[in-house]
Structures are given as C-alpha cells and as structure tokens.
Structure 1
Amino acid sequence: MRDHITAPAPPVHEHVTDAIKAPALIRLTPNTVLVRFETLKVYSALGAVRHLLETGVLRRGQTVVDSSSGIYALALAMACHRYGLRCRIVASTTVSDAMRAQLEILGVTVDRMPPTDDLLLDQHRRVRLVQELLARDPDLHWMRQYHDPLHHLGYADLADLLRRALPGEPLTVVGSVGTGASTGGLTRSLRAHDPRVRLVGVQPFGSVSFGSERFTDPDAIIAGIGSAIPFDNVHHELYDRIHWLDFQHAMAATVGLMREHAVFAGLSTGAAHLVAAWEAGREPARTHVVIGADTGHRYTERVFTRHREALDPARLAPAEITSLTDLAPPWATLDWARRPAVPVPGPRKDPVP
C-alpha cells in the first residue's frame, strides 16, 4: 500500500479575482503548454486599477469607463468590485446576454451598441459614446484598454509564474494579438530575463493591426482577436512571426482542442493552439506557450454546436509568405522579425487622441 501523502492545503482567497486570475498550466505535448484562463484579462484589469489607485489617479468611489467586446468588461467589473470603484461599460454588439447580466448584477452601467455586422462601425460607435460620456462628466476616468500602456503591467505576474513553472525551457509565446496587452506585456516581462523568448501573434483576416484589413471574412468573430481600428497597445516590434487564420480554420482548431485534449476554450485559444502545433513541429527544442484567454461558453452556438462541420486540423497548414502583398486566406504566416508597424494608409481612423 502506498503511503498517504498529505497535499498542501489550498489557499483561502480574499476575493474571487485572486481565485480566477491564476491559470491552469496543461502540457498538451512535450513542447506545447496551454495556459488556460477562465478570463485572462483579470491580470490586466487588476494591474491597471491597482496602479491608478496607488498613484492617486483614481480614488475609491470614482467611476471608470471603457469599451469592451466581452472578457475585459467582466475583468474590469470584478476589479472595481474588489477596490470599491464604480464601473460603466460601453459594450460591443457581440457581448452576450449572459455577460451583460453578470455585469449588471455587479452594479455596472452597461451601454450596449445596436446590432450590426460591421464591427468597424461597432468600434467607432463605442469610441464616440465614451467620448460623449467623458464630455458630460469630467470625473469619469477612461481606462483606455486599447491605448494605455499600463494595461501591460499586470502580465509581469504571469511572466513570473511561467518562469517558475517552466524553468530553463526556451519559450515561444503564442497568442492572439487583440489589444496587444497580454502577448506584449507577457513577452516584454519574459524577455527582461531571457531576450531569446519568441513571440508569435495570431490575427484574423480583416484586422488592421498587421495589414490584413483589405480582406473580409463574413463568419469571423474579430472581437478579442483582431481589430478594425489601430490600437496603440499593439507593439509590432515585439512579434517574431504572425499568422492569419480565417474563421473555418479557427473553428476547426477550437473543436479539435476539445476533441483531442478535452479543453473547452474560446476561439482565440483554438487558433493559437493550431498555430503552436505548426510552430512546435518546426522548432521542437522550444516550449510553445499557448495563451488560452477564456472558456468556450460564448462560442457555443457559433462554434461548438457546429462541430460536425469542423475541418480536420491535422490536414491544415499555412502558406508561408515573404510579404504582405502575398497575404491571402485561409491561413498564411509571415516572419515578422520584430519590425515596426506597417503604415496605415490615409488619416488615422481611431478618433482617440
């Protein structure tokens, strides 16, 4: 009979944000590790709110406002709940009824955009409404998750966790670009200890962040993965390689992740897993860290109920291109080589100063 080994007692948390911010680390293959979150952006929201309170920019009882397509809204609401702040969210048309109900129960004022399939229009509407609210109430504090670099700060804690969990392993971070805060903040913190850490970003077709705005993907759920307007928190010079995937490839990968590893995760996690599997085959000596931003609940109808339609991920591979002029769906990859941003033609579309 094996000797009984007493496991250490689990910590008793003072607030739910402490319980959910730490991810589960799951080794999917010998050189692929999934960093699975319930909601990734708790790191960003907690780090930003703490910094603003400590520096006196915010005071308890004040109201913060921001625009969100989903998981940042909930993370900010929970951070405000913890630190005694009020919260107002200008919510994307993609925010689900379940998410809106959670926000309202937490006391958040939710301004929801009218339905539209044009996510560029949706983002412009949200920015305009935030600016109108600020003009009416100067005491509101705009969190500016897309533009304020303080949203990178919270990911230093995640970098410390990964360095302890994966000591000595050469790392490649693989994740959706989105606002740029998670992949950028995490990689910058990791590179402070090891400049050889690689960063691979995932984009949908139609996102302006890495020059695919000339394409349209009618099924794409761009929110949280790409952007229809430029984001200042996307620091292009941090990225070693970029992959662009269409919805069908991301869906195949998300369903495949559940089928192969029993992981119920969001669309960006599936897309990052598909990319990481390809990258890991090319560089087997490196550990590929897949950022799993959220669970799959908000993708149930759009992705998981359609699982019989999903392509076989094992049959998918990208076209390797050397220039953005060669970019084309359904899956392409380019060695970005830590270059600065691609120029955006014409005037800046985002009215944020």
Structure 2
Amino acid sequence: MDHHIADTLSRPALVRLDPHTTCLRFETMKVASALAAVRHLLECGTVGAGDTLVDSSSGIYAHALALACHRHGLHCHIVASTTVDKTLRAQLEILGATVEPMPATASLKLDQSRRVARVREILRDNPRHHWMRQYHDDVHYLGYRPIADVVRAELGPVPLTVVGGVGTGASTGALAKFLRETSPDVELVGVQPFDSVTFGSEHVHDPEIIIAGIGSSIPFGNVDHTLYDTVHWVGFDAALSGAVALLREHAIFAGLSAGAAYLAARWEQRVEPDRQVVLLAPDTGHRYVDAAYSRHEQALPLEELEPHEISALADMDLPWSRMHWNRADAPPAASVAPAVPVAS
C-alpha cells in the first residue's frame, strides 16, 4: 500500500497494444523523476525539511515537483509558463506551491528564457532556495531505474526498442541507459517537435506547435545525444493523428507527445518487426482537448502518413521526418557544458 499519491503516480501502467508493442502509460510521468530527485537530495543533505525547491515548468514538471514537495514536507515555487492552465494552477496552489505565471508570449524561446531568468532572480534574492534544474541536472534520471526494472521483468530478454519524447532526456534517455546495463542492444528512438534546438530542427517552423514539452528552444544539459539511435521529428498535424489513433484503437487518452510517439513506434515496429517496441505516454490528454482533440475529425488515418527519410538535418520537413542519429553528439546549437554524471 502506498502512503502518498506521488508514489502511486510514479509508476506507469503497462498496456499491451499488440503482440509487439507495449505502452508505458503515466498519468504524470515526471513524478517519477521529481520524487526520486527530491528523495536523493534529502538523503544527501543537500536540502532539508522546510526548504524551498524552485524551478520553471510548462506544466507536467510543476505538478510533479509540487507532489514531491508535498510528499516530503518541502516548499515549492514554480515559475510557470503560460501553458499552465487554471485547472493545474488550482491543484498546485492547493498543494501548497507558490505559482508565479509569466506574461503571455507567442515565442517559445522567449517564454523559456524569461522563466530561467526569473528563477535566477529568485535564487539571488533567496540563496537558501534550491534550484531543481530539471533541464540540466542528471539527478532526474534516477527515478527511471525502477521503471526499467519493471520493463525488464515484464518483457524478458527480448530485443527492445524504446520510443518516446526526448524532453530533458530524463525519461527516454534514462530508461534506455538503465535497460542497457543488462541488454546493450536496446535501441532508443527519440521524438521531437519541429522548432527545437535539441536535435537541430529549429530551422523548421510548425505554426501550431503545442508539444514543446518534448523539445526546447534552449540547450538542455541533461540530454545525452549519444544514447539515441534514431530521431523522429513530428509536427502538430501528425501528432494529432497519432493521438486520435491511440485513443480510437486502444482507448488510451494521452497527450500529443504520446500521439507522436505512437506514430513513431508503429513505424519502428514496421521497420524492424522482430523487435519489441516500448512507447512512453507521459500524460493524459485532458489539457489538449480544446487545442487538439476537439479537432479529431481532421486526424488522418495513420496508414496515409509516412516520414521523410533524411540523412542531413537540413533536409527535414513537415509533417514528419526520420533520421538515423547513430548515437552521435549534440548538434552545435544544442551543445552545452557536460552535465553532472548520473548519481548511482
């Protein structure tokens, strides 16, 4: 029996979609990373009871950090993107978090930059606060080790391909890293939106981008590009089609990043039919109802979609591109100083 809802939410439901595909379905995936990170910081003495943890977030991480702080008796301060809706904000405030919304902007890059700058101001004025650095600290990898253990136990010693949104690298990257400790042949397929510097798609503009949580307009320090074998760049229209198909075919109501991952996972299973595919669905679809699911009649059958197969970043194009990354280093715009090694 769990003693806090955060413990429950840190574990995914494993859903078999077909004989070769399994979905790791989370209600709020980043609870796994936030909870483990906070526990590690407490055990190391980096933070103590009553301290304040601060970070910026576009939504999912804010909820996760607020839950982890509630679980361990810590204060939480969130510098919130304009994508944090009133439903989530109400939950955060009731959980005891301080929510500081940023002014509306049409620019993802400006929104992220403003939020990080505001966090630095808060730390300057409150030196006792601890910055969680979800975009840069590999401590957020730790929560995915138990999930890797569950995948290994459930699926057994079979060839695996992990597919999911890259984001900060603390989900797909961590899962593959821990699975490879016993199965080096695990393949990792990252899913990105266009307009993201992380894997070099900043030169392709998607006018309806609302899946920015899996990409970034600024460099992330805890994305290990050398973990990724293949990358799919998926635009809004294709992600919507994937999300609607995931709900229609398997009754899984998930976010747009899960729709993009489902699209990519189906393709990867087609390319390598002898491998088991594990796809990540990091959140539910509730916050995408107005902007996406209400347009479900526009969704295309997935059989009508296929990626542009490219060999150079300059060749990518909407609505969907795929490239063998071959565990290469970060592209120039995504390069940052080396991240802190993953804690054991």
Q: What TM bracket, shorter-length normalisation?
A: over 0.9
Return the alpha-carbon distance in structure 2 between the equivalents of residues 63 and 19 of structure 1.
23
Which of 293, 300, 304 aligns to 1:304? It is: 293
Q: CA offset at residue 300 of structure 1?
A: 0.6
Q: TM-score, normalised by structure 1?
A: 0.93
Q: 1:85 matched to which residue of 2?
A: 74
Aligned partner of 2:268: which letter? E
Aligned partner of 1:176: which letter? G
Which of 32, 40, 46 aligns to 1:43? It is: 32
Distance 1:332 1:107, change over 3 A: same
Matches within 5 A, 1:258-269: 258-269=247-258
Distance 1:258 1:168, change over 3 A: same
Provide, for residues 220-250 of structure 1, a one-character-per-residue CA deviation record: whole Å limited to 9, x for no partner. 1143111010101111000000001110000
Query: Is the 8 Å Cα contact of residues 211 and 236 (structure 2) preserved in structure 1?
Result: no
Q: 1:337 matched to which residue of 2?
A: 326
Matches within 5 A, 1:228-267: 228-267=217-256
Distance 1:69 1:346, change over 3 A: closer
Return the alpha-carbon distance in structure 1 between the equivalents of residues 130 and 59 of structure 2.
19
Return the alpha-carbon distance in structure 2 between the equivalents of residues 263 and 293 of structure 1.
12
Name the SS of the counterpart of 1:60 in structure 2.
Answer: coil
The reply to whether residue 200 of structure 1 matches residue 189 of structure 2 is: yes
Q: 1:29 matched to which residue of 2?
A: 18
Name the SS of the counterpart of 2:212 in structure 1.
Answer: coil
User: Alpha carbon RMSD of aligned pairs, Å?
Assistant: 1.3
Aligned partner of 1:254: which letter? A
Poorly superposed stretches of 4+, deviation over 3 Å: 345-348
Return the alpha-carbon distance in structure 2 between the equivalents of residues 119 and 186 of structure 1.
27
Name the SS of the counterpart of 2:266 in structure 1.
Answer: helix
Gaps of 5+ in 1: 1-11, 349-353
Which of 257, 280, 287 aligns to 2:276? It is: 287
Q: 1:163 matched to which residue of 2?
A: 152
**Larger of the two Rg values belongs to structure:** 1
The reply to whether residue 152 of structure 1 matches residue 141 of structure 2 is: yes
Return the alpha-carbon distance in structure 2 between the equivalents of residues 188 and 17 of structure 1.
24
Query: Is the 8 Å Cα contact of residues 238 and 260 (structure 2) preserved in structure 1?
Result: yes
Name the SS of the counterpart of 1:229 in structure 2.
Answer: coil
Provide, for residues 110-157 of structure 1, a one-character-per-residue CA deviation record: whole Å limited to 9, x for no partner. 010111121100001100100000000100000000000101111111
Return the alpha-carbon distance in structure 2 between the equivalents of residues 108 and 284 of structure 1.
46
Q: 1:97 matched to which residue of 2?
A: 86
Q: CA offset at residue 315 of structure 1?
A: 0.8
Q: TM-score, normalised by structure 2?
A: 0.96
Q: Which moved more, 1:161-170 or 1:201-210?
A: 161-170
Q: 2:118 matched to which residue of 1?
A: 129
Name the SS of the counterpart of 1:88 in structure 2.
Answer: strand
Return the alpha-carbon distance in structure 2 between the equivalents of residues 347 and 173 of structure 1.
25
Aligned partner of 1:230: which letter? P
Q: CA offset at residue 345 of structure 1?
A: 8.8
Name the SS of the counterpart of 1:224 in structure 2.
Answer: helix
